[in-house]
Each structure stands twice: as structure tokens, then as C-alpha cells.
Amino acid sequence: MKIKFLGAAREVTGSCYYVETEKHKFLVDCGLFQGSKELEAKNNDDFGINLNEVEFLLLTHAHIDHTGRIPLLYKRGFRRPIYSTKATRDLAEIMLMDSAKIQQSDVEWENKKRQRRGQDPIEPLYTSVEAMNCISLFRSFYYDEVVKINEDIRVVFRDAGHMLGSASLEIYINENSNTTKIVFSGDIGSGNNPILNNPSSISGCDYLVIESTYGDTIHDPYKESVEALINIIEKVSSRGGTVIIPSFAVGRTQEIIYELNSYYDYKIKDNYEKKVPIYVDSPMAFEATKAFMKNTDLFNQDARDFISKGDNVFEFENLHYVKNVDESKMLNNVKFPRVIISSSGMATAGRVRHHLKHNLWDSNNAVIFVGYQAQGSLGRILLDGIDEVKLFGETIKVNAEIYNLGGFSGHADQNILMDFVDKMQVKPKKIFVTHGESDGAEKLSQLLESKYDVSTIIPELYEEIEFEPGEYNIDEEISTSKENNDLYCELAKIKAKIDRLYENEELFDSKKMSSEEYNQLNNQIKELKNKVMTINMITGE
């Protein structure tokens, strides 16, 4: 068996792994390289494998650095199934369309310059059509289901607690009477996501591919970062300034909104003076929030409790979703204390760059980074400290205060990464450390070697590493999964939920709803009806 590392090797972005077993060939993730120009240039490279031979693709989660090259795969002829969780599929659809839009508009801009220079136009990496079409290849599943891919390979998606639908993959490969179990950690959550569950523990494996984004870091405590966020907002707005929060539209933005909802609805309550307007200026964030509301069954208990009390956790009085470009531009014509949450999170693209252009020069303002900033990104450059930056051809002085709130990270820190391996009863024979810059990967790999006496490898990009088949006891593992996923038991839980809804007729009184709420509910009930009919067909009822 071998794995070829087609991305996220000694760097964070571009996750893509090619696994070859005796009989099968498949990919795990197919992400975009993001950050500096040199990094992004790698997206055009050949995958270095024969795409016709790839039988399927497994996805850990919807972030673009794990999915962003899927439309390119499609463009180059890939038509095989893509396996993911249902929420990953919902989010990937939104994120890949957005990615295609960015690719197209970047090229349009570039081509105008090329035309003036008398050069031939270039093609975008892919278009919205390819992004839309590749979604038809998705097959989606729930957590803890045993998914039989073919006669030899089974996969279980375990909740990784990193973003909605994110998973660590347990892959069981049965060949020549041996079972090899490979685990791809995917991105592991920080363990303090306000909306999602904590990362699941994995019982063990033969081989582990683990992320190491923060392999050399211990995060600031989450609660401190939430407090700091509120304090900065109050300090800056009391002096009339604007707070810009560059934020990943999917995940981080919803977490920030969730925390602000708790603050303004439950702590501030009627103290209207403190309720500064909060603008979410990202069409994708708006779409993603809708996808979150479609998947509330994946939320943790606290978040579900809020929702069952009737609180829409993504809405509060002083929150406004900016719907169009005009509204977004208007925000920069008038000055008043406010908070603008806008993407992209690393300020490499998107509307946030306009807001930075209009606000960075003013020392009354502040910029708060709430996520990972890749090398070469504008976010990283601002955090490292710089006097001026160039935005849309204009030189802008950096006078605003720049903050980094590490506690909001969506990634496990060194402690949680070590914990992931610690909880494995059967320790891996070999660990491949990926998805981290050199410092993070090396530190984590040294720690793992010294603590568990296990051999680790930090692969180079495009390196191919061979390993012996494993000897995992598959029956024991799968039977535990089966227990957790007893179908009849699940059905009973759904029935109880429907019964509770049915008892409360008022909830469904259309006169008391806005037309948007009515349409949303109506669609969901129709979707449920279709699903029940499909189950009837399968069971022959």
C-alpha cells in the first residue's frame, strides 16, 4: 500500500492524498492551495496521478483547502462518486460556487490587463458550471454509519468538531485476508466550539494521517477570546470607531454571531446604548447560516437548547445581514460606530478588502483576526506588523489597531492533537504528520515520537510512501458502530420528535409566520415527506 501526498505536505493548504492499495485507488480530500501567489500557482499543476484510475473520493469537510480542487478534477474528466457527510455536501455546494466566482473574477481582472498589454487571455481554474456539476457526484451519509464503498473498503465518518459536517475518516481496507485501518484525522476541532460537539475519539488504527496546523501552539483560552472580542467592540465603538472582523464565511462567522447573540440577547438585554450595529457583509455567510439551520441536529446540546426555547441563535436585534453590493458600499460612505464581519477570513479576497481599504488608515478603528492566517496572506502581513499596504492599486497607511484572538481557532492546538492520539487504545504503527507549516509539524512529530515510541513522517509534497498492510480486527470495530447506529432506535427518536411537534399546533400556524419562515418550513416538510416515501420504497412498506 502507498500514499502519495498531493497537498498539505509541509504546508497547511491543498489537502489531497492519493491512496493505492493492491486492488484499489482513491483520493482523500481535494483542496485548493491558498495564500501567497507562489502557493496558489500550484493549483494549476498536474495532479501527478492518472485520474482515470481514481475510483472514488472521500471528503473530510467542506473547507476550500479540502474541497477547492474538486471542480478542477471534474474539468479534467473525473466522474466518480464523492463520499461525504450530508452537511459537508450542503456546505460544499455553497463554497465551491463561491470559489468558482472568485476564480472567474480574478481571471477577468487579469485578462483586462493582459488585453491592454497585447497578451492572450488566460482561463480560470474552473467555472461555476464545473462547480455546479461536480455536486451531482456527491453521495452523502451520516456520522457513525458504516459506509460500504465496495467489496473491500468501508468508511465511517466520525464527528471531528471542526466545522459543520466535518469528519475524521476511519477507512477499513480488506485485502488478502488482512484488514488495514487507516485514519485521516481531517481537521480536528479545538474542543470549544460553541455550536458543535467536541471531536470524537477514535479507538485506534494501523496508520494515521494527522493534521498539525497548531502542532507547536497552545491556544488562548476560548472564554478569554470571547471576552476580549466584546471588550474591543465596546472600547472602539465608544470612541466612534469601526471594528472590522475578517472572518471565514462558513463556520467562524456563525460562531461569532452565536456568541454575540448570547451577549446581546441574554447579558445586555435592554441596555440599547451598548447595542452597536453588527453587519454581516458576506453573501456566502448568509447562505451558510441557512445551511446551519438545516442541520441543527448536528449542534451540541447547549445550542439545541437555545433553539428549542425558540431563539434563532443567528439573529438578534442589532444584527444586519448585508444583502447586496450597494448596501455594502454604503457602509463606507457614512461613519458611525459599528462592527463589520466580512470574508474572506485571511483578507485574501472578498468584500473585506474594501472595508480594510476604507478603514485601516484611521487609528480610531480596529481589525480583529479570528482564524488561521496563512503565510503571504494579507491577514498574516498585517499581524506581523507593517506600516502600509496596497489595496486596489492604492497605498493605505495602517493606523488601526490590529488584534489576533487565538481562542477562536477552529483547529485543535497541541494539547488536543496529542489527546486525539492519546485516546486511541490501539496506537498507530506509523503517523504521517501533514497540514502544518514546518514548525507545527516538526514539534508535533517530536512529541508523538517521544511519548508513544511510534515512527512519524513529515512527507514532502508529491512524495509517495509505501507501507505494509495492517492487521486490524474489523468485526469488533464495526459491531460497535452498529450498536451506536441501531436503525430502529434512530427511527424511534425521530418519531418522538415528530410527536412533540405534532402536539403543538400553534407552531405551524401560517398566519403567525413571515412568508420566508412559511416557505422554509413548507420546503422542509416536503423534503421529510419525500424521505419517508423513499424509506417506504426501500423497506417495501
Instruction: Look at residues 417, 431, 420 and name the one whose alpha carbon lies nearest to residue 465.
Output: 431
Distance (Å, whole) CA 296 – CA 286: 16
DSSP symbol at 264 = I
32 or 131: CB nearest Zn ion: 32
Q: Is the separation of the CB atoms in 158 and 170 below 8 Å?
A: yes
* Burial class, 96, CB count within 10 angstroms (exposed 0-12 / middle 13-18 / buried 19+): buried
Count of residues interacting with Zn ion (CB under 5 A): 2
180 or 409: CB nearest Zn ion: 409
Task: Identify which range of 183-191, 198-206, 291-299, 379-387 contacts Zn ion by CB under 5 A.
Answer: 183-191
Quote the least distance from Cβ 475 to Zn ion, whole Å: 33
170 or 187: CB nearest Zn ion: 187
Task: Identify which range of 36-44, 179-187, 500-508, 531-539 contacts Zn ion by CB under 5 A.
Answer: 179-187
User: Sheet containing 278-281: which strands, arranged edge to edge?
Assistant: 319-321, 278-281, 338-342, 242-246, 366-369, 401-404
Quote the least distance from Cβ 66 to Zn ion, whole Å: 6
The answer for 165, left when phi > 0, alpha when psi is -120 to 50, beta otherwise, is: left
11 or 187: CB nearest Zn ion: 187
63 or 354: CB nearest Zn ion: 63
34 or 179: CB nearest Zn ion: 34
Q: What is the footprint of Zn ion within residues 62-91 (CB under 5 A)?
A: 63
Quote the least distance from Cβ 15 to Zn ion, whole Å: 8
Task: Identify which range of 95-103, 112-120, 184-192, 263-271 contacts Zn ion by CB under 5 A.
Answer: 184-192
Quote the least distance from Cβ 411 to Zn ion, whole Å: 7
* 354 counts as binding Zn ion under rule CB under 5 A: no
Phi, psi of 180 (to 5 degrees): -105, 130
Quote the least distance from Cβ 63 to Zn ion, whole Å: 4
Q: What is the footprint of Zn ion within residues 134-173 (CB under 5 A)?
A: none
SS3 content of the chain, % helix, strand, coil (to 5): 45, 20, 40
Q: Is the separation of the CB atoms in 257 and 311 below 8 Å?
A: no
Quote the least distance from Cβ 305 to Zn ion, whole Å: 27
Site track for Zn ion across 185-224, x = CB under 5 A: --x-------------------------------------
Q: Is the separation of the CB atoms in 106 and 82 below 8 Å?
A: no
* Measured distance between the N- and C-terminal CA atoms of the chain, rounded to whole angstroms: 44
Q: What is the footprint of Zn ion within residues 45-64 (CB under 5 A)?
A: 63
Distance (Å, whole) CA 159 – CA 153: 20
263 or 372: CB nearest Zn ion: 372
Instruction: Look at residues 355, 417, 410, 346 and name the one whose alpha carbon lies nearest to residue 375.
Output: 346
Residues at the site binding Zn ion, with contacts judged by CB under 5 A? 63, 187
